[in-house]
Structure 1
Amino acid sequence: MFILGLVASTFGAIVGLGGGVVIVPALLLLGPSMLGMDIDTALAVGVSLGALVFTSFTSTLTFVKERKADLRSALFFSLSSGPMSLLGASLTSLFHPEVFRRAFGFFMLFMVILLLFRNRIKPYQGKWRYVRTYTDVDGIKQAYGYNALPALLVGGAVGLIAGLLGIGGGILLIPTMLLLFRFPPHIASATSMAVIFISALFGSGMHLIRGEWDWMLVLSLAPGSLLGGWIGARISRRIGSVLLIRIMCGTLLLFALRMII
């Protein structure tokens, strides 16, 4: 469980996805052989969100120290992602997720195609009401931004996905930040982890209240998640933007196929 938390959180923090895309299927598939118990979807999602709290906490702190996490934007997205994660968590045990997972898998494939061909796609030329700037290591300023309604809608969808599937929501937030709001890749991954922290906190709380929780599983994942969140954030800063985009695309493609198959 320590190794599972370490691997999932390290990989998740590098690309800003959180790690739940690894933890949830691992618990469902390996529960009987690794733990000697059958783990249903609701419990796996609750435990995954509990582990994501630790992962996103340490990675966000690291990104904040490196001045890569846009906390103001993260808090704005969280205005809707937090409450919607409560709704998603409350629906997990009532909603059979297989159809949703496959549909979302095909949606992820579409997002991968957009990311791969983003240089050939004409970027959004409109002016955002809330504009932010970021200066990279070469001194080049990059502008990005968003309007209130699109940001709140995206944040709500991210929270719903996080609470329902326990996978953090970064698989939707990252492509949207890159393609629609024009976030720089490193800012997008760092800010995504801050949004995931709020969503995981709300969602895991709801699963705890509903009894879809196991303290031993969460606490056994926590040390690896804490360490992995820090390691992943440290590795992320050493990766160039082009390579980071490629890693994101490979990750999204892998888990899209996993959800579909």
Structure 2
Amino acid sequence: MEFIILAIIALAAGVIGALVGLGGGIILVPATLFIGVNLGMISGITPQTVVGLSVIMMIFTGLGSTLSNMKTKTVDFRSGFIFFAGSIPGTLLGAFVNKGLDLPSFNLYFGILLILLSILLLVRNYLKPVSWFVKRGKTRDFTDESGTSYTYGYPVWFALLLTFGVGFASGLFGIGGGSIIVPAMILLFLFPPHVAVGTSMFMVFLSAIVNSITHISLGNVPWIYTIPVVPAAYIGAKLGTKLNQKMKSETLVFALRIILLLLGIRSIVDGIWG
């Protein structure tokens, strides 16, 4: 029964993560903690083991999505490597900080992050894109399948600083970081949405490899649970990428805002009174 539950969670995390460039950890972590700890349906789940499981899963969601996005040329590999370089030290720091968190503290901080992300997703369509960063960095041009042309770019120093913070959140909470970096890429660097998602998933793949090495060394990975999670997440990522290429993701993003807000509130309540 545990394997079936985890496979369903991982499939949903893979689909949603790849569709909007989140990586999937932001779905897997709270869902597994709630079902495993609050409902007692998955044994051996702690904040550390669920983060370890999440980062292993994100290797395969990132890989599956990147391979699919490569076919439509919506992965900016140069930017992906730059963002990855900035995230490495933050990821390592976050993983070691995670080691000292108990469940109430994890729930509290994770809940605050979820609410902040839901607000960011809520207001991103009402914010005017900022061209200041584009003008101060090396620019690139992209034309999508509909013929719409985009010019985007960023100063490398700011990208490295931003992705350090993204990496820290990824290592601490086992999330892919795409929920932070995708809105930033679109609003600050003027990335085309599909390129932002594709590049984010490539960064998720690279970061998850480093993140997983750290969590494996700390003994945080429940290997038995990777059996249902990895294949389900990989399949979900492939499906999510196909949906991303065929449909507008605004409906799902709207639903995701509400889900993140509710999960965040519940996580904070569990952290304070759980």
Unaligned runs of 5+ in 2: 1-5, 267-274
2:223 is matched by which residue type in structure 1? W
TM-score of the two chains, using structure 1 as the length reference: 0.91
Change in CA separation of 1:3 and 1:59 when aligned onto 2, cut-off 3 Å: same
Answering whether residue 29 of structure 2 is matched by residue 24 of structure 1, we say yes
Which residue matches 2:187?
179
Which residue matches 1:12?
17
Alignment of 1:78-227 (within 5 A): 78-95=84-101, 96-118=105-127, 121=128, 123-125=130-132, 127-227=135-235
State which of 57, 69, 76 in structure 2 corresponds to 1:63: 69
Would you say the 8 A contact 1:16–1:170 is kept in 2?
A: yes
Structure 1: how far apart are the matches of 2:254 and 2:152? 21
Aligned residues with identical type, % of pairs: 32
What is the aligned-residue RMSD (CA, Å)?
1.9
2:114 is matched by which residue type in structure 1? G
Would you say the 8 A contact 1:20–1:48 is kept in 2?
A: yes
1:124 is matched by which residue type in structure 2? S
Unaligned runs of 5+ in 1: none
Note the C-alpha offset of 1:72: 0.9
Change in CA separation of 1:21 and 1:197 when aligned onto 2, cut-off 3 Å: same
TM-score of the two chains, using structure 2 as the length reference: 0.87
Structure 1: how far apart are the matches of 2:42 and 2:258? 31
Would you say the 8 A contact 1:10–1:231 is kept in 2?
A: yes
Note the C-alpha offset of 1:38: 3.9
State which of 29, 45, 66 in structure 2 corresponds to 1:39: 45
Structure 1: how far apart are the matches of 2:115 and 2:19? 23
Structure 2: how far apart are the matches of 1:91 and 1:163? 8
Change in CA separation of 1:116 and 1:146 when aligned onto 2, cut-off 3 Å: same
